[in-house]
């Protein structure tokens, strides 16, 4: 993405989806395509992505947890490799 492009989202638009199961992997359908969410893993998506029916079924069944994204405080330091 070029530096001059304007972002179309803010941190308030981001949510974290966590797979609470230990043995189930899920294929989540988004407008941009399908993404696999492995057991015990978390992904960050825009809140707009939750409009998909299959994510809401998994959230209501207690298999996915949704929470707002909380950016880390502090300064990013590039690892010295």
pLDDT, one tens digit per residue, over 58-79 is 999 999 999 998 877 776 666 7
Dihedral (Cα; 53, 54, 56, 59), 10-degree rounding: 180
Q: Classify residue 3: in a domain, yes or no.
A: no
Structural domain span for residue 42: 11-68
Q: Classify residue 17: in a domain, yes or no.
A: yes
Q: How does DSSP classify residue 72?
A: P
Q: Classify residue 1: in a domain, yes or no.
A: no
Q: Classify residue 18: in a domain, yes or no.
A: yes
Query: Which tokens go with 79?
Result: 């690892």
Number of domains comprising the chain: 1
pTM reported for the whole predicted model: 0.72
- pLDDT tens for 1-36 read 455 566 677 777 889 999 999 999 999 988 888 999
């Amino acid at each position: 993405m070029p530096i001059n492009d304007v972002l179309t989202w803010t941190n308030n638009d981001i949510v974290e989806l966590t797979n609470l199961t230990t043995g189930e992997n899920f294929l989540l359908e988004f407008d941009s395509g399908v993404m696999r969410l492995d057991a015990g893993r978390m992904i960050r998506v825009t809140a707009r992505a939750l409009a998909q029916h299959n994510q809401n079924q998994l959230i209501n069944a207690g298999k996915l947890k949704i929470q707002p994204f909380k950016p880390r405080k502090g300064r990013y330091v590039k690892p010295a490799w």
